[in-house]
Amino acid sequence: MKAAHPHLPAQTIASLWQAHHFSDLNKPHLRPDDIRPVLEKLGEYADIDKRVIGHSCTGRPIERLTLGHGPMVVLAWTQMHGDEPTATAAVLDWLEMLMVNNTSNELALPDHWHSLVTLHIIPMLNPDGAQRMTRVNEQGIDINRDARQLQSPEGKLLWQQVLELKPDIAFNLHDQNPYYTAGNTAYPATIAFLAPAFHPDKHVDAPRLRAKQLIACMADTLSHWLPCHIGRYDDTYSLRSFGDNIAGTGASTILIESGAYPNDPHRQVARKMNVIALQSALEALLGNLFQQKSLADYYRIPDNVEDGLVDIKFSQVRQQLGSTDYIADISVNIDKAGRASIRHIGDLSAQAGFTQISAYHTSVNPLKGITLDGPLVLDEKRYKALLREGFCYFVGDAKLLDNQSGLPCLCVAAPLSYTNLFVGADAYWVMTDNEGAKRAVLNGLTVPL
């Protein structure tokens, strides 16, 4: 061990990451073809054993990279949910960092660490889902709810690996939606940790204690970069999930969820933090630093709060239903396809928006559609004129509408069944004040009128 101080080695891994990470993996999503060249490169290192351990439903190879030959066995897998790619880039970066360290020897690892630990990494366990950008596999099965039935080839493979390798430490690496916050704050949880329960009573046995201690070490290290962005995931026992079942085999199991960070659409902050977290866990494990941590250190990490954030929060929106006036906050989220829809209506004082808009002193017009009775060329001037008249969507055959306005528009086959804003509805409306139409919200985008 070169240094016991937890800060400096973490800075080393951060600067190594900066210099050596796979820059081609800075993408909104990763498919099998994206990681293939990286797998080839890593497979060329003499120290890394790369092998195909099985195949997905459609026959795509699932590979495992192994480094080291020691008795302490670490198993990590990523992207079992095909649309959660952040940790895939991170584990590949981590292996590259460890290879760079073979010559530079900068990390706080014992010189003979290869003989102390065996690292098994399975990047992209669900290549079919990754290809389609879906959570589920080709059968439509959520692999992470298949730990008992084992009906998916990918789930079966993971369980076989667990039985064969008997990991001491297991890293289950995922992405979470961008709306989790670290505690009741407006800060997105960029990283969330969990040592999953292996029984409904959430008993903490020795391996689970070690998982919590390792998490406390990782959170400590990450807090140098992300003091307000680390959450502790809910530990309700999940009967069908892999993490909980693997924890039941006696492995110290650690879930890491990558999340959002402001102005970081490709989650590169979370990617880098995963590398630092994994490396600091390895250092803590090999240096026995984790034993200095207590359960209290784990529980000190703030809760990973679901729905703490929304994409856009409009506060104090005045509306009318029948003859009743009411004021409510409105939140809007934008899905991966770019559709903005209303998520919540009411008192949203406990939520923050990545974008916040005050609607104070403005009212939402009753939602009103204009029927297309023939072809309509919609330029910006014509569109804004319609919006000022209170029309916020079109009714009829979308082919009749030639939208040249550069603004989003909504065209539906039949008039909407509601005239007030409603949960799940597309985010299109017009807001007025005493002087008339003030602005339109078009697929979440605020447009002055």
- What is the nearest approach in angstroms of Zn ion to the Cβ of residue 174? 3
Rounded Cα distance, 359 and 103, in Å: 59
Q: What is the pairing mode between strands 230-232 and 169-175?
A: unpaired
As beta bridge partners, residue 87 has none
Rounded Cα distance, 219 and 128, in Å: 32
Rounded Cα distance, 350 and 184, in Å: 7
- What is the nearest approach in angstroms of Zn ion to the Cβ of residue 247? 16
From the list 219, 288, 279, the residue with the least C-alpha distance to 9 is 279
Window 163-182: residues binding Zn ion (CB under 5 A)? 174
Specify the residue, 159 or 233, whose C-beta has the smaller distance to Zn ion.
233
Q: Which amino acid, residue 323?
A: S
Specify the residue, 67 or 125, whose C-beta has the smaller distance to Zn ion.
125
- What is the nearest approach in angstroms of Zn ion to the Cβ of residue 434? 49
Specify the residue, 21 or 81, whose C-beta has the smaller distance to Zn ion.
81
As beta bridge partners, residue 403 has 378
Window 69-88: residues binding Zn ion (CB under 5 A)? 81, 84
Maximum alpha-carbon separation in the chain: 78
Specify the residue, 123 or 369, whose C-beta has the smaller distance to Zn ion.
123
Specify the residue, 12 or 86, whose C-beta has the smaller distance to Zn ion.
86
Specify the residue, 143 or 395, whose C-beta has the smaller distance to Zn ion.
143
From the list 183, 216, 228, the residue with the least C-alpha distance to 298 is 216
Specify the residue, 42 or 215, whose C-beta has the smaller distance to Zn ion.
215
With CB atoms as reference, the residue minimizing the distance to Zn ion is 174
Window 136-165: residues binding Zn ion (CB under 5 A)? none
The CA-atom distances, in angstroms, between 180 and each of 94, 190, 192, 272, 351 are 26, 8, 9, 19, 10
- What is the nearest approach in angstroms of Zn ion to the Cβ of residue 38? 21
- What is the nearest approach in angstroms of Zn ion to the Cβ of residue 129? 10
Encoding tokens for residue 343?
Answer: 């998520």
Specify the residue, 87 or 330, whose C-beta has the smaller distance to Zn ion.
87
Specify the residue, 245 or 363, whose C-beta has the smaller distance to Zn ion.
245
Specify the residue, 84 or 93, whose C-beta has the smaller distance to Zn ion.
84
- What is the nearest approach in angstroms of Zn ion to the Cβ of residue 135? 7
Task: Evaluate whether 446 touches 357 at the Cβ level (below 8 Å).
Answer: yes
Does residue 232 touch Zn ion according to CB under 5 A? no
Rounded Cα distance, 109 and 68, in Å: 13
Rounded Cα distance, 285 and 118, in Å: 12
Q: Residue 248: which residues within 8 A CB-CB, separation 6 or more?
A: 198, 199
Specify the residue, 83 or 379, whose C-beta has the smaller distance to Zn ion.
83
For 339, other C-beta atoms within 10 Å of its C-beta total 14
- What is the nearest approach in angstroms of Zn ion to the Cβ of residue 164? 23
| DSSP summary character for residue 125 | S
Specify the residue, 13 or 80, whose C-beta has the smaller distance to Zn ion.
80
Cβ burial, residue 70 (10 Å; 0-12/13-18/19+): middle
The CA-atom distances, in angstroms, between 436 and each of 326, 384, 416, 422 are 19, 13, 23, 23
Rounded Cα distance, 4 and 368, in Å: 66
Please count the residues of this chain forming the interface with Zn ion, following the rule CB under 5 A: 3
Rounded Cα distance, 102 and 6, in Å: 21
Rounded Cα distance, 72 and 95, in Å: 17
As beta bridge partners, residue 345 has 330
Q: What is the pairing mode between strands 252-258 and 191-194?
A: antiparallel
Binding site for Zn ion (CB under 5 A): 81, 84, 174
